[in-house]
A and B are shown apart, each in its own frame.
Chain A
Amino acid sequence: MQLTEFKNKVYPLRHKVFRLAKWMLNHDEEAEDVAQEIMLKAWTMRDKLSSYKSIEALLITMTKNLCLDKIKTMRYSTSNILFLKIESTVPSQLERILSQEDETIIRQIVEELPEQQRLVIRLRSIEELSFDEVSEITGLTINNIRVTLSRARKTIHERYQKYMGNEKK
């Protein structure tokens, strides 16, 4: 794979890698280091990349594993993920729809989901990976992913609606 192709197909994935690492490690700088490491690994194996079905799934899996290793060895705290400060570059259209408070509440609801649901929601709804890719990363069957996704989505909406109902009273 030539540099141009790498630049077009692989390098744009760095943001996804970073977001996943940031979410797993709850640490911006560590997540950036992980993204560097993963992108460099991808660069060194650039000649083999085209033989993979989905480069995206490959990089996300590598990221997941690297983060899990880091968590094991360094015992990152992931407990205070709810209080993470959000990025300030939210587009204005979104700001109108989603207040800071909404965002905190929804984040809390999503983070309280069982681990597998959290991961599937993240890969599918946030990172927009295909069912095939999510299956490759998580090892779940596509049918299982659909069920997990459905449970997660229903729970999120039920809990959020309940919260909104309480607010109105």
Chain B
Amino acid sequence: MKKNEIDQLIKKYHEGNTSEAEDRMLEEILMNDSSEEHISERKVMAFFTTERSAGLSAQFDSRFMKAIGKSPLRKSKMLMVWTIGIAASIAIFTVVVYLFNGYDRQVQNKTITTGLNERKEIQLPDGSTVFLNHKSAIRYDEDFEERKITLTGEAYFDVKSDKKNPFKINTLGSVTEVVGTSFNLMSNDENGVVELSVVKGSVTFSAYKDQLQERVFLSAGNQAVFDRKKNSMKKYEVSDPNILAWKTGLLVFDDSRIEEVALMLGRYFDHQVIVDNKALLNCHFNARFQKPSLSEVLDLLSFTMNIKSEIKGDTIKLYGNGCSQ
């Protein structure tokens, strides 16, 4: 959005005339802007968001469930009904707990999983396509009336446009909601991180954990990272051309720092890559691979920068004397 358009929007905001959508857009723009210009608007918006983040804990839920479980559905004057009432209330309480935990629908659901080094392309009933990376899984209701999917691991989504029926993906306590677009979604159960990268169109990404309910709006070229452990949500411009490498087989390093190379190779080859010597952090790598083998990449690292490697089980150790600046 151009500067004068933003100024117009802020003027409209001060006049009390912005719609809900415009308020959200303005919030989004100001939060991601670090200039001095709209600093007071930005801080006031941040204050509102902070106020909005206060919420109730899970204790409240159990208290509420107990309360509605105990209150009989119909009041009866007869004493005899009491025993039945108590039994019923226990039953109701059980049902309530059961339902609150989300086992409330008995529709057949379908689960598709991939093993090590196995990748699958899946056509969903609505015409959308999912490319599932290895060691991942998706689950959805067979009728797919609601376009809702649960994802474990990583997948690339090409979602068929349907404005009336948004497409939702649950993963690790986050929800990605789209209308029609393409994006990559990766969740890592071990470190509790969900990473969303948008290739085409726009996506709403929200995370729910404890009292944090954060929502970000992403368009093509944006990335959001939700960290469950740190309870944080961050938004970036995607500069990493290798996000889709697992799908395209194209691995590009353009003056990349060695930590980035290590991270990417770790992801691509499913190993843990450790940079063993700080001296290596000076090194920058330039290369382009099409479906490379691990040894191909390691050979080139050795050839160009004299970086040696050692593979032990799942771990690759990189070491050497480093590079001159």
Do A and B make up one complex? Answer: yes
Q: Decide: B56 and A91 in contact? CB cutoff 8 A.
A: no
Residue of B nearest to A37 (CB): B67
Partner of B31, one of A32, A89, A97, A161: A97
Per-position binary interface string of chain A over residues 121-143, scored 1 when its CB falls under 8 Å from any chain B CB and 0 otherwise: 00001111010000000000000
- A70 CB within 8 Å of chain B: no
Partner of B52, one of A11, A35, A93, A127: A127
- B325 CB within 8 Å of chain A: no
Residue of A nearest to B39 (CB): A164
Q: Decide: A160 and B231 in contact? CB cutoff 8 A.
A: no
Partner of A43, one of B17, B23, B51, B68: B68
- B313 CB within 8 Å of chain A: no
Partner of A157, one of B14, B105, B211: B14
**A164 CA / B42 CA spacing, docked (Å):** 13
Count of chain A to chain B residue pairs whose CB atoms are closer than 8 Å in the complex: 125
Per-position binary interface string of chain A over residues 69-106, scored 1 when its CB falls under 8 Å from any chain B CB and 0 otherwise: 00000000000000000110111111001100011001
CB distance from B81 to the nearest CB of A (A): 19
- A9 CB within 8 Å of chain B: no
Total contacting residues, chain B, CB less than 8 A: 48
Partner of A153, one of B13, B39, B95: B13
CB distance from B54 to the nearest CB of A (A): 5
B37-70 contacts to A, CB under 8 A, are 39-44, 46-56, 60, 63-64, 67-68
B123-156 contacts to A, CB under 8 A, are none
Q: Decide: A157 and B40 in contact? CB cutoff 8 A.
A: yes
Q: Decide: A32 and B50 in contact? CB cutoff 8 A.
A: no
- A147 CB within 8 Å of chain B: yes
Q: Decide: A156 and B44 in contact? CB cutoff 8 A.
A: yes
- B118 CB within 8 Å of chain A: no
**A149 CA / B231 CA spacing, docked (Å):** 32
Partner of A91, one of B42, B48, B68, B233: B233
- B200 CB within 8 Å of chain A: no
Q: B230 contacts which chain A residues (CB < 8 A)?
A: 92
B96-140 contacts to A, CB under 8 A, are 96, 99-100, 104-105
Q: Decide: B64 and A36 in contact? CB cutoff 8 A.
A: yes
Q: Decide: B47 and A107 in contact? CB cutoff 8 A.
A: yes
**A125 CA / B45 CA spacing, docked (Å):** 8
Partner of B16, one of A35, A39, A149, A156: A149
**A115 CA / B215 CA spacing, docked (Å):** 30
Q: Decide: B51 and A94 in contact? CB cutoff 8 A.
A: no
Asked if A14 meets B47 with Cβ closer than 8 Å, knowing A19-B54, A87-B53, the reply is no
Q: A103 contacts which chain B residues (CB < 8 A)?
A: 47, 50
Partner of A97, one of B20, B42, B63, B234: B42
List 14 A-B pairs, Cβ < 8 Å. Answer: A3-B104, A14-B64, A19-B51, A36-B67, A40-B64, A87-B53, A90-B50, A91-B214, A98-B47, A128-B20, A150-B16, A153-B14, A156-B44, A160-B43
- 8 smallest CB-CB distances across A and B, nearest first, come from A150-B16, A149-B16, A15-B55, A146-B16, A98-B46, A97-B46, A106-B47, A92-B232
Contact surface of B with A, Cβ cutoff 8 Å: 13-17, 20, 23, 31, 39-44, 46-56, 60, 63-64, 67-68, 71, 95-96, 99-100, 104-105, 210-214, 230-235
